Chain A
Amino acid sequence: MAILDSTSESDARRIARPSGVILLLCLALAAALLKPVLPAFLIRVPEWAVLPYDQWMQWLFDFIKDDLGLIHVTRTISAGLEWLLDITANLLYGKNRWPHIGPLPWSAVAAVAAVTGYALGGTRMALLAGGTFVWVALIGQWDLAMQTMSVITVAAPVAVLVGLILGLAAWKFPRFERALMPILAIFQTLPFFTYLLPAVIFFKVGPTAGCVATIVYAIPPMVLMTALGLKQVSDEVVEAGQMSGSTRWQMLRHVYLPSARTELLIGVNQVIMLSLAMVVLTAFIGMPGLGAKLLSLMNSLKLGRSFEIGVTIVLVAVTLDRCSKAWVVKQPQHFERGTPWWQRHRLLLIGIGAFVACLIAAQFIQLADHIKRGQDLSMGSEIDDVIRAILSNGVITSTTEWLRWFLITWVLIPFRNALLWLPSTSVILTVAAAGCFVGGWRSGMIAGAFFGIVALTGWWDRSIITVYAVISAVVLAALIGLPLGILAARRKRWADPILLACDTAQTFPSFIYLIPAIMLFGVNDVSVVFAIFIFATVPLMRYTIEGIRSVPDELLEAADMSGATRHQKLLAVQLPLALPTMAVGFNQAIMFAFFMVIIAAFIGTQDLGQELQKTLAGNQLGKNFVLGMCVALMALAFDHVIMRWSANRRKALGV
């Protein structure tokens, strides 16, 4: 999420001015030490200075909605989306809408998936893609999964298309890019509770709102990757295109887009993964399918079947991820002139053939058409028993009980109280000092201002509790994730299982581990930190592995030749060189933590997430937006500082 930084690459040269940093830090320290004699307005922003931002936002919102008539525009868009969604819904699970063809039999869908998998990545991919759909059908979740897919098959292509257009515009018009990037950054850091109400009001509760929320959430990486890919097209290729007399459209179609193919496809991959990440959250605004079922299962504490749904979501995500990655690697195939049509499109024909064969089979064999209840292989209640037995195991409960007591009394509560005790001025000054240290006065001003605005909204204490949970979880994640990452990077045998575990932890719906977390630790901050920790460890491990692996071989050899031990090599060569990449992972971990801390409101917190949850009851859009901005601004302050630091290090190391 280096969005804010990409625009200001030029002043990265302005390195830290130590005197400024020290000055700011001293001021911060002084403010903390002199708290008893500090004037009240420096400790917390006084009541009278907190302006009614929420009412202004509410007014602005009503004005845009009703007076400017935006609601009519959005409702027209949602009618269009609904038309598309009805088509996929009819085809995939037989919703009673035009074109009245569906539902397609599961075997036909699975067959097409297997052939597509084969075309992209050979037998292994065919087994993965086909196997996923067979699992979904056998476990008795076909209709649910298809309800989810019916929305994603619309949302992902729309997100890719819109992202492509915005990315093209950003590449063509630098001024547009400068305006767009901060907006994207805010969209990526706004908590999902803030999307909820506007999506429902403007786009009608149901699949349409779910679809819109998914699209909004998934667009940013597509825009970034498009702009990035197009900028990297080499001049030689462009000149070759111009020399052959291409028009502007031909240049785009035949020169720029094919050259940026890899980046574009990585963007597509990201869009798909983010769409799947929203499956459960969008259930709150009417997205049907797996997410909605999961929520209702959780509410009657059916852990086993929730777990099965989680497995399905992971399988679908891994399939789509691997297939789209295989597509990135796969180069377009070229045939000799004169190859017959059927030979060039052999796999397409096989796919159609399998599809038709399954359609025909389904007319006669019920099992090939749909799996009835009672025929499925769901093991929900058995898994339930196993999970409960583990969670109520004496050794485990006594360990977690001790851990809970220890962390609450000696770590978390003292840390939280210390942060809350600090005057807001000294926190703001510290943040500004960090900014100043990595990027000079300008960065210091930005980071400090972001926290300053949060203080001015009057939500300081809640914001600090949010930051406290984020920091605690990320520190814990670093303590455990970094050693594991280093271990995995140094032993090839460990790397693959750990990366697979990362993928699984990331796509496994976070709601499912909220419940075991509560059963182990109870409704308190330990559960909250634990839930965030699982989510935040993933990027830390992944980027550590990546960073250490990408250290150039020459340097490692040089270290070997100068007689470095393994240990020395790690400390003196690998880690320093991997540090910028690891910082990116660290940043990701913090962004994920800010995302997850709000979700943790479902466990029970006293932070901004809880306050956001409350606004949903009263439909208080203005307040909701103000709170959302607090979260976004704090996340962006962290993002700015860490990414700037990483960029500086990279420059210094010359990598």
Chain B
Amino acid sequence: MKNIRTYLGGAVSLLVLAGNAAQADSTDPIIIPIHNWSSQIVMSNVVGQIFENMGDNVEYVTTDSQAVYESVRLGDVTLELEVWEGAFGASFNTALEKGGLHDAGAHSAVTREDWWYPLWTKDACPGLPDWKALNECAAVFATPETGDKGRFLGGPVDWLKHDQERVDALGMNFVVVNAGSAAALWAEIGAAEAEKKPIVLFNWTPNFAEAVWPGEFVEFPEWEAGCNEDPAVGPNPDATYDCGNPANGYLKIAAWDGMKEKWPDAYEVLTRISFTNAQIAEMAKLVDVDELEPEDAAAEWLAANEDVWKPWIE
């Protein structure tokens, strides 16, 4: 029973509102989607708390990370803070074409998504991280379902990766097995950890897994523009996808077209927001390693990094 407190709080905020006539943002809540990985949840809470500091109302809604773009387009959700080039680029572009949302800036963080292994794998396959060395010890990664070929554990199919194409283009001795969720990937690493079994799988950065299981990306032929479309680009002249993923993919922010009119101040701040890889890793760590709840993690991060976010709201 906090009604007395709530009413008091309401009265105070009304007074504040009256005093601050320049406030043009709508009092409707800004809806921020949260997904099921920690850095995104904490970042959403950080930005939400910044907005609340400015006097806006904020609400969070849990959504699927692919279906969310349809919701941003329709205005049901106001923005999306982590648009990963590799994982969500396709959904984002589809929604961009249909109209209703736009690109509201990018973080300075770069994302990388590629074949990855935990460090203990190196004991069984010392030539790593070179992809040719990986290919030579393919047998180490064999499982009953892949026969004598090595198994590469890919991400869920809805992340729309082209691992199979790459295996074919580079003539690798690997079979791609797709896990159905991020949780399935972690479960496999967790199981391999006990016996230090070699494993090579899809992973990305920034991500909590780096803090729990130190590891490295496999170095494929470096990505160049056109590698995925033009067979001539890359080592194999007859095939596309014969190179690694870009090592510096974008991490964008998407906003609903109506946000600019409805919450101009918040929108202005949103376009200035930019986090770095280190900051994102720190946010994830507060939840995944220090076991804080996302709201508390966000509050803690804001308190410790005033010099980062204060300039954005001025």
Contacts and interface: CB of A to CB of B under 8 A. Distances in A.
Interface of A: 94, 96, 100-105, 196-197, 200-201, 204-207, 283-288, 292, 295-296, 298-301, 359, 362-363, 369, 373, 380-381, 388, 391-392, 397, 404-405, 408-409, 413, 514-516, 518-520, 522-525, 600-606, 610, 613-614, 616-619
B153 A614 contact: no
Given A100-B7, A602-B181, A603-B179, A285 B63 contact: yes
Given A603-B180, A618-B91, A520 B38 contact: no
Given A363-B1, A524-B177, A286 B153 contact: no
B66 A616 contact: yes
B64 A285 contact: yes
**Which 6 residue pairs across A and B have the least CB separation, nearest first?**
A392-B194, A518-B187, A292-B62, A602-B180, A617-B158, A604-B180
Given A101-B3, A616-B67, A283 B62 contact: yes
Nearest to A305: B291
A408 B61 contact: no
A362 B1 contact: yes
Contacts of A392: 191, 193-195
Contact of B36 (A200, A287, A296, A603): A296
B153 to A, nearest CB: 6
Nearest to A101: B3
Contacts of A515: 183-184, 187
A200 B61 contact: no
For B10, B66, B195, B293, the residue with the greatest tally of chain A CB atoms inside 10 Å of its CB is B66
Contacts of B81: none
A391 B187 CA distance: 11
Given A101-B3, A519-B190, A523-B153, A614 B183 contact: no
B2 A94 contact: yes
Given A288-B62, A515-B183, A604-B178, A613 B143 contact: no
B110 interface: no
B76 A619 contact: no
Contacts of A600: 180
B90 A388 contact: no
Interface string B14-34: 000000000000000001011
B144 to A, nearest CB: 4
B61 A205 contact: yes
Interface residues of B, number: 64
A264 to B, nearest CB: 34
Given A100-B6, A409-B144, A617-B158, A519 B187 contact: yes
Given A292-B62, A523-B184, A619-B91, A405 B144 contact: yes
B208 interface: yes
A518 B144 contact: no
B188 interface: yes
B308 interface: no
Contact of A519 (B10, B191, B296): B191
Given A409-B144, A413-B145, A519-B190, A200 B1 contact: no
A618 B36 contact: no
21 contacts: A100-B6, A100-B10, A196-B64, A200-B71, A204-B74, A285-B63, A296-B35, A299-B37, A299-B186, A300-B208, A363-B1, A380-B291, A381-B291, A391-B191, A397-B195, A516-B187, A523-B153, A524-B177, A604-B156, A606-B178, A618-B94
B51 to A, nearest CB: 14
A522 B76 contact: no
B67 A200 contact: yes
B277 interface: no
Interface in B207-263: 208, 212
A563 B288 CA distance: 67
B184 A518 contact: yes
B217 to A, nearest CB: 20
B158 to A, nearest CB: 4
A100 to B, nearest CB: 5
Given A299-B37, A408-B145, A518-B191, A105 B1 contact: yes
A207 B6 CA distance: 23
Contacts of B6: 100
B186 to A, nearest CB: 4
A619 to B, nearest CB: 5
Contacts of A610: 157, 178, 180
A619 B70 contact: yes
A363 B4 CA distance: 11
A196 B63 CA distance: 11
A603 B184 contact: yes
B188 A523 contact: yes
A298 B1 CA distance: 33
Contacts of A404: 144
Interface in B142-174: 143-145, 153, 156-160
Contact of B183 (A197, A292, A298, A606): A298
A408 B18 CA distance: 70
